[in-house]
Amino acid sequence: GDAAPMEGPRVLQRYRRHGVLFCRLLCSQRYSLASSGVRAEVVEAFDINDVANDVYEHNFGHRPCQGNIQTLTAGDLDKYKAHAWLLSPPCQPYTRQGLQKHSADARAFSFIKILNLMQNMSFPPQMLFVENVVGFEVSDTHDQLLAVLSTLSFNTQEFILSPLQFGVPYSRPRYFCLFLQKRETSGDSS
């Protein structure tokens, strides 16, 4: 008979921006995942903003977990056993026109907290996707991200991409980073 189809990856969405612009990003991540052809289950989304959560619930029939991400523990994150995390930390600490306080900006604290929790998880994600403004890649928060994921044996690919590169007449470059946990080798030297 036919083999049972392999279960797709479990995905966790978190770190959303406040307001309607944030909702578009949150929903666009979910729509992009669906249109990619990857069979995945979104196991949870997180946002503290009522409006963002209303829009997400309207579009997907599920209300994101609402609360302060800084109160989460490694155990809280472990219970989702998510293979992949889609992360979009607040961009204000890294914007070129802002104060560029990076990790000293209170809006960066929740992202740094998650990085620290990852090191104590029993079931850390195998893949991460991080999106932010151009400027994040030169921040000390970015340095912390790379350091944590290096200790957890992740391969990293970083990009600055603009919709113009994909035929969309809109120039808004963004920072994207893909992280994939290195696989154990079987001891085969070939």
**What is the total residue count of the chain?**
190
DSSP 120: T
Angle at which helix 140-151 crosses helix 109-118, to 10 degrees, equals 10
Q: Distance (Å, rounded) from C-alpha 173 to C-alpha 165?
A: 10
The one catalytic residue in 23, 27, 65, 91 is 91
Asked if 160 and 174 count as a contact pair (C-beta separation under 8 A), the reply is yes
Which of 28, 87, 20 shows the shortest CA–CA distance to 54? 20
Q: Distance (Å, rounded) from C-alpha 44 to C-alpha 99?
A: 32
Give yes or no: 91 in active site. yes
Q: Kindly list the distances between the CA atom of residue 17 and the CA atoms of 42, 47, 131, 146, in Å, as whole numbers in the listed order.
A: 19, 8, 12, 22
Residues recognised as catalytic: 91
